[in-house]
Amino acid sequence: MSENKKKNVFISHHHKDDAQVDKLTSLLKKNGLDIRNSSIRAKPANQERLDKGLVKDAIIRRLLRMKMSWAGSVIVLVGKETHTRKWVNWEIEQAHKLGKTIVGVYENGLKDKVDLPPALEKYRTSQVVGWDSKAIIDSINGKPIFQEPDGSPSTRKDDTHYTC
C-alpha cells in the first residue's frame, strides 16, 4: 500500500461541528490524503472561557493567523449554522488576505441547501463541494469545482478575480 500524501490545512468550522472535522480527516486519509490540521478545537474549559468573553479577540485573531499561515489551504466546513459564525467568516477573510486556496465542504449528510458564510460568497473563486473525497482533494489541489450539498453540480460559476 502506498503512503498517503500529506497536506497542511486549516479547517474552519463551528465548534459544534468538531465530530465532522474528525470524519473529514478520516475520509480524506482513507482516500490517500493525510491532513495536518492546524485549526483550533477548544476543549470544554477553554470553550467556556471563550463563551464568557475572558479571552480577548486580539489574542484569538493572532493565534488564528499563526495557525493559518502554516497551512497551504483552508477548508471551510459548511453546516446549517456556519454562516452565522463570526470567527468562521473572519477566518475566510484572513485566508483570502493570505492568498490561501479556500475550499468549502458541505457537512456529511447535509442534503438541503444552506446559507454560505458571507465571506465564502464574497470570494466567488472559493470552491464549494459536497462530501466527496475526490471533489475535496481536487479542490484542495486547485481545481475549481462547485457543487450542491448532495454533490450535484451547482449553477454557481467561478467569477475569477485577478490581483494587479
Q: Is residue 160 part of a domain?
A: no
Q: Cell 454560505, residue? A: 116
Give a yes or no: residue 157 inside a domain.
no
**For residue 24, what is its C-alpha cell?**
473529514
Specify whether the CB–CB gap between 100 and 88 falls below 8 A: no
Tally of domains within the chain: 1
**Cell numbers of 132, please?**
466527496
Q: Is 123 a domain residue?
A: yes
User: Bridge partners of 103?
Assistant: 75, 127
CA distance 133 to 33: 9
Domain that holds residue 38: 5-140
Tell me, yes or no, whether 147 lies in a domain: no
Asked if residue 101 is part of any domain, the answer here is yes
Q: What is the pLDDT of residue 162?
A: 38
pLDDT per residue over 100-144, tens digit each? 999 999 999 888 889 999 999 888 667 899 999 999 999 999 888
33 falls within a domain: yes
**Within a domain: residue 146?**
no
Q: What is the CATH number of the domain that holds 44?
A: 3.40.50.9200
Rg (CA), the chain: 15
Minimal CA–CA distance to 113: which of 151, 143, 68? 151
* 161 inside domain: no
Are the C-beta atoms of residues 25 and 35 closer than 8 Å to each other? yes
pLDDT in tens, 1-38: 445 699 999 999 988 888 899 999 999 999 999 999 99
Instruction: Enter the pTM of the model.
Output: 0.87
Phi, psi of 75 (to 5 degrees): -100, 130
